[in-house]
C-alpha cells in the first residue's frame, strides 16, 4: 500500500529578523517531520508588501541554513500567489459569504460607544480586535454600489454565521479539527471550531485581495501540507482556517500547536531573549548547538 506523502511547513513572515521564538518553531517542526518521515517545506509569507523587506527574506535563508536546515526548492513565496488567493475570495463572493464593509475604525468605535455597552465591555476577538458590530452588513445593493463608485475603501468581511451554517451543511455536521499539540492550550484531540470568537472577520481589503487566513489555507492545500505545526498564538485562527477549508473544498491537515519556548531548566525565556535576533546570537559567537540548547530542543531528532 502506498501512503500519501507527509508534509510539514515552516511559514515565517519576512517583516523582521528571525528570533529565538522562530528558531524554536522551526526546530520543533523539523523534529516532528523527522519522526514522521515527512517532507519539511519552507514558505515565505510575504503578502504584507508594506512590511516585507528583501533583506529579511535573505536573512531567513541565511539563519535557517546556519541552523543546519535545508529545504526542497523552489521555496514558495506568497507574493507570487495573489491570483490564487483572489480566486478563493471570488469563490466566497459567489457563495455570498463575504460582504464589503466600508466602516472606518472610528465608525466602529463610535458605534460601540453609542451601543450602551461601551468599548470596555465590548467583546474582542483572539487578536484583540473589537467584534464587528455589523455596520454596512445589511445595506442595500444600491447603497453598496454607490459607496464603491465613490471610491471608498473597504474590507471584505466573512458573514460568519452564514458561513458556519453553510459549512455545516456541506460537511454534514459540526466542523472539527484534530489538535495533536499537548502543551499549547491543554486541549487535544478532535475539537469543535468556535469561529464566533472572531465574528465577521476581515478576509481581504480593497487594495490587498487576501489576508493571512485565505493565503494560509490556499497554500497549505496547494503544497499538500498534511500537518500544520505552529505557535499556540495561532491556535484560535484554526477555527477560521477549518471553516474556509470546508467552504473552499480543501483537504484537512492535522494541527500541532506548540507552546512558548523554555530554557533547559523549563523556565520561560524572557521576552527580550526570545525577541533577540538569531543573527545577533550568531555574531556573538553562539553555535547552532547553543541555540538548540537555549530553546530546549537539544535532543530533537535531525
Ligand atoms: N506567517 C505566520 C507567522 O509568521 C505563520 C503562519 C502559520 O504557520 O500558519 O506568524
As a 3-state breakdown, the chain gives helix, strand, coil percent values, each rounded to 5, of 40, 15, 45
Asked, for residue 167, whether it belongs to a domain, the answer is yes
Asked, for residue 266, whether it belongs to a domain, the answer is no
Question: Is 195 found in the same domain as 156?
Answer: yes
pLDDT score of 199: 97
Question: Is 252 found in the same domain as 127?
Answer: yes
Cα(153) to ligand 1 centroid in Å equals: 27
pLDDT digits (tens, 9 = 90+) for 215-267: 999 999 999 999 999 999 999 999 999 999 999 999 999 999 998 776 666 66
Q: Which of 272, 274, 255 is nearest to 263 (CA)?
A: 274
Question: Is 190 found in the same domain as 74?
Answer: no
Assign residue 300 the CATH number of its domain. 3.40.50.620
pLDDT digits (tens, 9 = 90+) for 179-223: 999 766 688 999 999 999 999 999 999 989 899 999 999 999 999
pLDDT digits (tens, 9 = 90+) for 36-72: 999 999 999 999 999 999 999 999 999 999 999 999 9
**Residues of the domain holding 228:** 81-259
pLDDT score of 184: 60
45 within ligand 1 shell (Cβ under 6 A):
yes
pLDDT band at 132 (very low <50, low <70, confident <90, very high): very high
Asked, for residue 296, whether it belongs to a domain, the answer is yes
Atom from ligand 1 closest to the CA of residue 10: 8
41 within ligand 1 shell (Cβ under 6 A):
no
pLDDT band at 141 (very low <50, low <70, confident <90, very high): very high
Question: Is 93 found in the same domain as 69?
Answer: no
pTM: 0.94
Would you say 162 and 200 are in contact if contact means Cβ atoms under 8 Å apart?
A: no
Question: Is 218 found in the same domain as 156?
Answer: yes
Question: Is 175 found in the same domain as 34?
Answer: no
pLDDT score of 187: 87
CA distances, 141 to each of 75, 160, 204, 279 (Å): 42, 20, 20, 53
Give the number of domains in the chain: 2
Question: Is 74 found in the same domain as 85?
Answer: no
Amino acid at each position: 500500500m502506498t501512503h500519501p506523502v507527509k508534509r510539514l511547513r515552516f511559514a515565517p513572515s519576512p517583516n523582521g529578523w528571525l528570533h529565538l521564538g522562530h528558531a524554536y518553531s522551526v526546530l520543533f517542526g523539523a523534529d516532528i517531520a523527522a519522526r514522521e518521515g515527512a517532507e519539511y517545506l519552507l514558505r515565505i509569507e510575504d503578502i504584507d508588501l508594506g512590511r516585507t523587506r528583501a533583506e529579511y527574506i535573505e536573512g531567513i535563508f541565511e539563519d535557517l541554513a546556519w541552523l543546519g536546515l535545508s529545504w526542497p526548492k523552489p521555496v514558495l513565496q506568497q507574493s507570487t500567489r495573489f491570483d490564487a488567493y483572489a480566486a478563493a475570495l471570488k469563490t466566497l463572493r459567489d457563495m455570498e459569504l463575504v460582504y464589503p464593509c466600508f466602516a472606518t475604525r472610528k465608525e466602529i468605535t463610535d458605534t460601540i460607544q453609542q451601543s450602551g455597552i461601551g468599548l470596555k465591555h465590548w467583546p474582542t476577538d483572539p487578536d484583540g480586535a473589537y467584534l464587528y458590530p455589523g455596520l454596512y452588513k445589511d445595506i442595500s445593493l444600491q447603497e453598496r454600489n454607490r459607496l464603491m463608485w465613490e471610491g471608498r475603501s473597504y474590507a471584505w468581511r466573512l458573514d460568519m454565521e452564514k458561513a458556519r451554517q453553510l459549512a455545516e451543511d456541506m460537511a454534514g455536521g459540526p466542523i472539527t479539527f484534530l489538535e495533536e499539540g499537548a502543551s499549547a492550550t491543554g486541549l487535544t484531540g478532535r475539537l469543535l471550531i468556535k469561529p464566533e470568537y472572531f465574528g465577521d472577520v476581515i478576509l481581504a481589503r480593497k487594495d490587498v485581495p487576501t489576508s493571512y487566513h485565505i493565503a494560509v489555507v490556499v497554500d497549505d492545500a496547494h503544497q499538500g501540507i498534511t500537518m500544520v505545526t505552529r505557535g499556540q498564538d495561532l491556535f484560535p485562527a484554526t477555527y477560521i482556517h477549518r471553516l474556509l477549508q470546508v467552504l473552499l473544498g480543501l483537504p484537512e491537515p492535522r494541527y500541532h500547536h506548540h507552546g512558548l519556548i523554555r530554557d533547559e531548566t523549563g523556565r520561560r525565556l524572557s521576552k527580550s531573549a526570545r525577541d533577540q535576533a538569531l543573527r545577533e546570537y550568531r555574531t556573538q559567537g553562539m553555535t547552532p548547538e547553543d541555540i538548540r540548547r537555549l530553546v530546549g530542543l537539544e535532543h530533537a531528532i535531525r
